[in-house]
Amino acid sequence: MVRGVTRRAPTRLPPEDRRHHAHSSPGPRTFVSVQDAANRLAVSTKTIRRWIASGDLDARRVGPRLIRIDAASLDRLGRALSAPHTR
């Protein structure tokens, strides 16, 4: 368990996201390590762990200490953060 993180019930997707997932083609999901996720988004591993705890990233515990992050979840978060700023 990540230090200081408590387990919580999975959050339900909003209807528009559920619709997208229902029609997406089934395929192998790709998972990355916490360090790889941090490198991809140019943030610290601590930030990645905070995002996992807050539910912003979809992650799975693979072993007693091993966490893997769904790459699609990482890409969605990356797109939202990298949207061009308009004035």
Reported as a single tens digit per residue, the pLDDT across 27-66 is: 788 899 999 999 999 999 999 999 999 999 999 999 888 9
Residue 5, in any domain of the structure: no
pLDDT at 77: 82
List the domain range (segments joined by +) for residue 72.
29-81
Residue 11, in any domain of the structure: no
Residue 59, in any domain of the structure: yes
CATH code of residue 34: 1.10.1660
Number of domains observed in the structure of the chain: 1
Residue 36, in any domain of the structure: yes
> Percent of the chain scored above 90 by pLDDT?
41
Which among 21, 84, 4 is positioned nearest to 58, based on CA atoms?
21
Residue 13, in any domain of the structure: no
Which among 55, 58, 5, 53 is positioned nearest to 29, based on CA atoms?
58
Residue 1, in any domain of the structure: no
Which among 73, 68, 65 is positioned nearest to 17, based on CA atoms?
73
Higher confidence at residue 41 or residue 23? 41
Residue 61, in any domain of the structure: yes
Residue 62, in any domain of the structure: yes
